[in-house]
Structure 1
């Protein structure tokens, strides 16, 4: 797809750009790009982001900051615990089908409160009330999957949840899975470490040369 700067990005190039921005953030040498008045004016009538970032709502996980991005660079979707629902799927399909974004990022992080709550529910059998219950119910399968792999630390469960969420996206959306199989889009899972500021690739689907990334979408 073509960015607002006129550059065309492949999924691999989009991931490279995010990785470079995160490295600057970790090193404390962020450029803070695309945040001036001319950039703002150039985006009034259109947007052409090169990535969509679906991450946790946690205040410590500001996507544009940790990847050193600016206005118009990323289409961002956030829910507590990066939990998928119809609105999330619709937003991601819009980013792929209408905006032509080549890279979907599922962004989890250590010390996640939503995953911690799901872990506590599994261990105690006590379910939280209100709509928090819905969040916990959607994360619980990831917690159980982690336990089956003998992973009991909450941060290991976060990684498993990120992997499970990436897979669920391509299983749930024909728009996304077809785009992956056609080589137009990659879906990757990143696990962010709060203390270091680093986002590590842990899973994915699509045309990226990395051992954690499968070439094609998960079968329906």
Structure 2
């Protein structure tokens, strides 16, 4: 996973990375995806290194394939995934790797409608019954987000809880990683939170820390 010298064909600022990402999602939503950077030439060009323009920390859900929903290709995205996009040391270290070694200008926390991990957490909060095995650890990490959503609105549904969890996850990246916080403070990096809508494929901005405006 070696870094690569700056490639001018790649967005190298938070604003350019954000624009590129959302233009790709727009193409996907409109069913005019261009499937860039997926040919043999691109594959060969990456053998000496990588220079992705975005780190995506998303849920492991099979419906949330980042390169597809943002119409990207090989070498474009540094992707980290856990169920419910919960942060542990390995996930945080992976995101920091993108920041420190690959100089990625945009970090995205990506949640989605009807998240199974959030649904399981809501059930645990309501019933007091925790799931078995290591799934319990996932539920414990999501519980603060579910409780915060319920404090805001006692009738909160799953999707409102997902939005709150995306916001809290993005904020935690800055709180728990001096490396990421320094990147945002210097203007080299932005951290955003998106929720993905399963019905229409649209990614919606719910959190922003950093210069994503051109």
> 1:89: Cα distance to partner?
0.7
Aligned: 1:85 with 2:88: yes
What corresponds to 1:13 in structure 2?
A: 16
What corresponds to 1:215 in structure 2?
A: none
What corresponds to 1:94 in structure 2?
A: 97
What corresponds to 1:204 in structure 2?
A: 208
Deviates more, 1:60-69 or 1:7-16: 7-16
Q: Give 1:105's match in structure 2, choosing from 82, 103, 108.
A: 108
Q: State the alpha-carbon separation in 2 of the partners of residues 43 and 5 from structure 1.
A: 14
What corresponds to 2:181 in structure 1?
A: 177
Deviations 1:60-105 (A, max 9, x none): 0000000000000000000000000000111011100000000000
- 8 Å CA contact retained: 2:10, 2:52: no
Deviations 1:95-132 (A, max 9, x none): 00000000000000000000000000011100001000
Runs of 5+ consecutive residues of structure 2 not aligned to the other structure: none
Runs of 5+ consecutive residues of structure 1 not aligned to the other structure: 211-220
TM-score by length of 2: 0.95
C-alpha RMSD of the superposition: 1.5
What corresponds to 2:193 in structure 1?
A: 189
Which structure has more RCO (C-alpha within 8 Å, separation ≥ 6)?
2
Q: State the alpha-carbon separation in 2 of the partners of residues 205 and 25 from structure 1.
A: 25
Q: State the alpha-carbon separation in 2 of the partners of residues 25 and 208 from structure 1.
A: 21
What corresponds to 1:114 in structure 2?
A: 117
Q: State the alpha-carbon separation in 1 of the partners of residues 212 and 46 from structure 2.
A: 29
Q: Which runs of 4+ in 1 moved over 3 A?
A: 1-8
Aligned: 1:161 with 2:159: no
Q: State the alpha-carbon separation in 1 of the partners of residues 8 and 71 from structure 2.
A: 16
> 1:45: Cα distance to partner?
1.1
TM-score by length of 1: 0.92
Distance 1:62 1:3, change over 3 A: farther
Q: State the alpha-carbon separation in 2 of the partners of residues 91 and 173 from structure 1.
A: 11
What SS is found at the alignment partner of 2:160? helix
Aligned length in residues: 210
Q: State the alpha-carbon separation in 2 of the partners of residues 199 and 134 from structure 1.
A: 27
- 8 Å CA contact retained: 1:4, 1:72: no
Distance 1:13 1:165, change over 3 A: same
What corresponds to 1:35 in structure 2?
A: 38
Aligned: 1:60 with 2:60: no
